[in-house]
Amino acid sequence: MKIGCPKEIKPQEFRVGMTPDAVREAVGHGHAVLVETGAGLGAGFSDADYQAAGAQIAASAAEIFAAAEMVVKVKEPQPAERRMLRPGQVLFTYLHLAPDPDQTRDLLASGATCIAYETVTDDRGGLPLLAPMSEVAGRLAPQVGAWTLQKANGGRGVLLGGVPGVLPAKVLVIGGGVVGTHAARVAAGMGADVTVIDRSIARLKYLDDVFAGQFRNAFASAATTLALAREADLIIGAVLIPGAAAPKLISRAQLAQLKPGAALVDVAIDQGGCFETSRPTTHQDPIYTVDGILHYCVANMPGAVARTSTQALGNATLPFLLALADKGWKRACAEDRHLLAGLNVHAGRLTYAAVGTALGLPVTDPAEALAL
């Protein structure tokens, strides 16, 4: 198979879809890999690194999209990239379609087969291609939240860990999954007073068993969420419904009840955000203020630590990438229900139910799409 890896063009996105190690593996399996010049520079990989691994270097993204049978990326294709997709071509990347009707419409019109990292599953009920970036984003969230709270940025001027004689900041983490767990661990490690809330009693029991004493937890009723939010200096939104739009857990009207200068870090922004006032921002311009509350809503947070993120993502995607290339997408998905769960679009059909629900579009069962 001809595999193409273009340079990411989303603002301040420094990750790359394939590492040189992944290229070497793919070439070793008999595939040809085409990498756009400069694609890996943001993650510390040169064209020479890719050539040494067996890749060919392409001068442009257009060359990649024209030649590749499968395009491997990190972020959702931007409008210029979507126009280059074609029927029969496989796109393997993060998509986050539920809050993005324009992208969904373009992918359906392209006729391409689009497999989303974020909806591939595993035997434990997890999301193995989303988890590495959730871990990175979770660990980054307290770090960027602490920066947002600095007075020079408009925040409360509160040090997350406090100092002797001064209480630490109060941090509320909404969601006890992968993002929330890593965020709570790091925030607690920085000395903050941390509470995690979730609606899963089983998850709360797990957190209590594993992290007892490091941070508190509570059941995420609407009343409890608001009560804890009123006390918090920093609120980290870490709620995920696989493939679906994130629920809005703090309304604009409720912002008036929060501490002036409090910070909201919305890690769910790729899925539309879990605060009503959230809108995507960039690393270049990450913060905005609504009703005196600071919002940090960077849609590609792991891109800030591109080398770590690229390596972590590459480790997770490689087995699936090789299966798609070795077997072809139809056989690979037919033999692996977890990979089939990643199929979001095929031949003009939407194949992921949660996206159809979010956007009001008809959905074809992914197993039926294999016959198209």
**What CATH number is associated with residue 31?**
3.40.50.720
Q: Of the candidates 206, 205, 255, which has an alpha carbon nearest to the alpha carbon of residue 229?
A: 255
pLDDT in single tens digits along all 372 residues of the chain: 999 999 999 988 999 999 999 999 999 999 999 999 999 999 999 999 999 999 999 999 999 999 999 999 999 999 999 999 999 999 999 999 999 999 999 999 999 999 999 999 999 989 999 999 999 999 999 999 999 999 999 999 999 999 999 999 999 999 999 999 999 999 999 999 999 999 999 999 999 999 988 999 999 999 999 999 999 999 999 998 888 889 999 999 999 999 999 999 999 999 999 999 999 999 999 999 999 999 999 999 999 999 999 999 999 999 999 999 999 999 999 999 999 999 999 999 999 999 999 999 999 999 999 998
Q: Give the chain's domain count.
A: 2
Q: Provide the domain limits for residue 294.
A: 131-299
Active-site position among 96, 182, 295, 346: 96
Residues 146, 251: one domain? yes
Q: What is the pLDDT of residue 213?
A: 86
Q: Which two tokens stand for residue 273?
A: 């955000």
Note the pLDDT of residue 11.
Answer: 86
| Same domain, yes or no: 96 and 170 | no
Residue 290 pairs in a beta bridge with 293
| Residue 115 and residue 16 in one domain | yes
Let me know whether 199 and 241 are in one domain: yes
| Catalytic residue, candidates 106, 266, 270, 336 | 270
| pTM for this prediction | 0.89
Among 250, 282, 299, the domain-final residue is: 299
Whether residue 315 sits in one domain with residue 246: no
Task: Looking at the structure, tell me whether residues 92 and 115 fall in a common domain.
Answer: yes
Over residues 129-175, the pLDDT tens digits come to 999 999 999 999 999 999 999 999 999 999 999 999 999 999 999 99
Our answer to whether residue 100 is catalytic in this structure is no
pLDDT of residue 323: 98
Together in a domain, 292 and 311: no
Instruction: Assess whether 347 and 202 both reside in one domain.
Output: no
Residue 82 sits in the same domain as residue 139: no
96 part of the active site = yes
Report if residue 126 sits inside a domain.
no
